[in-house]
Structure 1
């Protein structure tokens, strides 16, 4: 597994190092990556072959070191359209490859659907059942990069884990499908899509990580204010980007860089330096009352940890009582999305998400049953 993870790290390095038109830029980045990987190995051996943190693995350390060097060296370039297109294309290929194995492992089919001129991905159980539940997932990537296919492995594992939890809690076999939505438009642009599938709000949980988590919050706030009857059952946020104040403290053990995050914020919200323009793009400063239950998962080593921390504090200040906060002390940004063969602890994060989702789905069913009897 270490060799496989090392191969993925090298593939990521080559992918990023070859996207620059100037040869010297590529040489510099690749050299820094080699130094970082070598240093990681040496430090691992010096610690007595122990990982940097108790819940890390050598495989994750290697990949983490590669990503960190890339974001620190040329992270701000990733927000430009030319570089974003390149990274999206490469992440599409990598996600398709890893996702193929995950779909086989978790008995999922991958179906492509086009909506609003964009490609979205359905991950469905290969054995359809009468009752269908859905996780509508908005992926991360700084509002401009990464492909939804990169999240195929996470989606397949999450769906299978929720199905297992539902079986244990209710004794029934229920279908859980995951829709991986493309990020380049706000979720409200295609919020009506679930109704085309014959799905009721009580059958759907809205989820997202990083920038996608920020879009989840923006979506919830806009739907609450315009069509509250269409609010979905619940929401799950993984390290959401929800604060445009850009005053994050240094985070030496996270692969995000300050320059990259500022570039993404500027690309997403050009006037982000003016708080009067933020509105729901910075939901940590919004009124959070009247939203469905929210599960908020954070890693304390995350560069944008304070985004989620401030969001939770604002919810508490607003008197919100239906949120759950899940903090992991030695985890960096979006740790749950990494393949478990790279970071075994990622499954802990997925299981936490699954437990919340299963409980929410069953509560929604109970409420629908009571409403049907009352009518």
Structure 2
């Protein structure tokens, strides 16, 4: 069994570069998000462009990456869209995989915006990544994204015949919510492990607001994040079991690694999720990286801490695929 606390030693404070980047974000991204209303077509388009440019400019290198687009129909006629990503030097072996569910607030991102991150994850782990390109709101509302994530999982495990115990599920932000929702379903065989970066858990953002009052998030206000998520789940009761996930009352999940930034409001979601997972007996390692922003792992050119955080993830993936347990040595 794993001690509840992470055994990986984290710095007491973020690097000077990370703190500077967070301060700059508070003067730019945080202000821009206040005026770009995602309910307006121009606001949505501009928000998507800003996120894509940030990920491209400050993400890791794509050198040597191989990408294979997937667009198939399942036996029951449903469509699965995504891409296989092989990082530099990773063989084209699909007997094991990382199933990646990107974040976006259900609205902004895609496999394309996250390709640098998935490529880096593949290169560090030596494992190919299948990244699901689920449909986005506002055109596609709840439960479309969750259904697409489920179909991607079924395609991997049934059509591609990759054993669940040879898969690690990983996701960031809203992708974390979608991943946990998938694994709470009683008929889903669990993967070897679960990796969550800055997971969104509480779609009402009540947890986020409580942390925001103590320390404003440098990239976005909770009231603006709510506007994004509402484009996906508007008209649905917030207590719907697929939206308000009953993690503490659900089935135990596979060994889990959760990372979040100490400067972000969703650190509250990460802390609450880890506590709920432990109530179910799920082995869970929680890391709150000081002074880091939302999904800092995707922006190593701004946040030097992204590299050690990703090495921790790679070590977790390796151990999970070999043994199905968390390596207490980190």
TM-score, normalised on structure 2?
0.77
Match of 1:112 in 2: 69
* Residue of structure 1 in register with 2:162 after alignment: 199
Q: Does 1:333 align with 2:294?
A: yes
- Give the equivalent residue in structure 2 for 1:13: none
Gap runs ≥5 in structure 2? 1-12, 73-77, 136-144, 326-330
Aligned residue in 1 for 2:139: none
What is the aligned residue count?
290
**1:210 positional shift:** 0.5
RMSD: 3.0
CA gap of 1:59–1:239, structure 2 versus 1, over 3 A, is closer
Cα distance in 1 between the residues matched to 2:152 and 2:92: 26
- Counterpart selection for 2:171 from 187, 200, 208: 208
Q: Using a 3 Å threshold, how does the CA distance of structure 1 residues 67 and 279 change in structure 2: closer, same or farther?
A: same
Structure 1, unpaired ranges of 5+: 1-50, 164-175, 366-375
Partner of 1:269: 233
Compared CA separation, residues 304 and 130, structure 1 to 2 (3 A): closer
> How far apart, in 2, do the equivalents of 1:279 and 1:303 lie?
23
**Equivalence map 1:83-94=2 (5 Å):** 83-85=43-45, 87-88=47-48
Q: Give yes or no for the alignment of 1:254 onto 2:250.
A: no
Return the alpha-carbon distance in structure 1 between the equivalents of residues 229 and 26 of structure 2: 22
- Answer yes or no: is 1:160 the counterpart of 2:123: yes
Shift of 1:127: 5.4
Give the deviation of 1:246 after TM superposition.
2.7
Q: Is the 8 A contact 2:81 2:134 kept in 1?
A: no
**How many Å separate the matches in 2 of 1:54 and 1:320?**
38
CA positional deviation for 1:345: 1.4
CA distance 1:269–1:118, change in 2 (3 Å): same
**Partner SS for 1:191:** helix
Shift of 1:329: 2.3
Change (3 A) 1:333 1:79: farther
C-alpha distance after superposition, 1:33-69 (max 9, x if no partner) = xxxxxxxxxxxxxxxxxx9964616456545642222
Q: Do the aligned partners of residues 269 and 155 (structure 1) sit closer, same or farther apart at CA in structure 2, a change above 3 Å counting?
A: same
1:5 aligns with none
Q: Could you tell me which residue of structure 1 aligns to residue 32 of structure 2?
A: 70
